[in-house]
Amino acid sequence: MIRRVGRRRILAGLAAANLVNAVAAAAILAVVSLAGRESRAQQTVPEALDPLADPVKAEALERERTFRELVEELRAKKAEIERREADISERERQVVILREELAAELEAVKEARAALARERKAFEELRAPSFERLLKAYEGMEPDNAAKALAELFRRDQMVVVDLLLGLKPRQAAAALDALAAAQPEVAAQVSYEIWKRNPKRLR
């Protein structure tokens, strides 16, 4: 009886050991199989995910990248052209404004000159009779007396002296100017210069 029980225990132990070994072997096979699958997945998945592994896809991606770069470059050039056009438009607007201002200033200058000419004409008409009488008086003076009077008049109004000498006959003007040069050479020089500016041929 004891021997039978011992045999059963031994057989049961052997069976349990075989079962454990079988389970362990199955587990090892499962681990090895899983590792093999992961290894194959690591080798195949990157190739599937990496577009550069496919020459056609790689070329398509390169074309797309080139196209995007070209589009960005064209956008940048368009923005630069628009900026330059805006700058040119602003300059043209400023030029138009300056031209309008210049035209207005020129018109104002013309009006001022016309008004001055009218005033000068009116003044000449008013003083003509008195100036003619004064000119007649200087024509009858001796050169020395005329020179003294002209020197005194020069301190008040230089242009009146110039007008008188230009109104006198050339010989009378030369004699009066010669006497003025002897008495006050600086005044005579200034008067001579003013006469020359108006009529360079007058002193020849």
Residue with tokens 């132990």: 13
User: pTM higher than 0.75, yes or no?
Assistant: no
Tell me if 174 sits within 8 A of 181, measured CB to CB: no
Tokens for 156?
A: 């008040």
* Tens digits of residue pLDDT in 67-97: 888 889 889 999 999 999 999 999 999 999 9
* Tens digits of residue pLDDT in 151-180: 888 888 888 888 888 888 888 888 988 998
> Nearest-CA neighbor of 168 among 196, 194, 146?
146
Tell me if 187 sits within 8 A of 154, measured CB to CB: yes
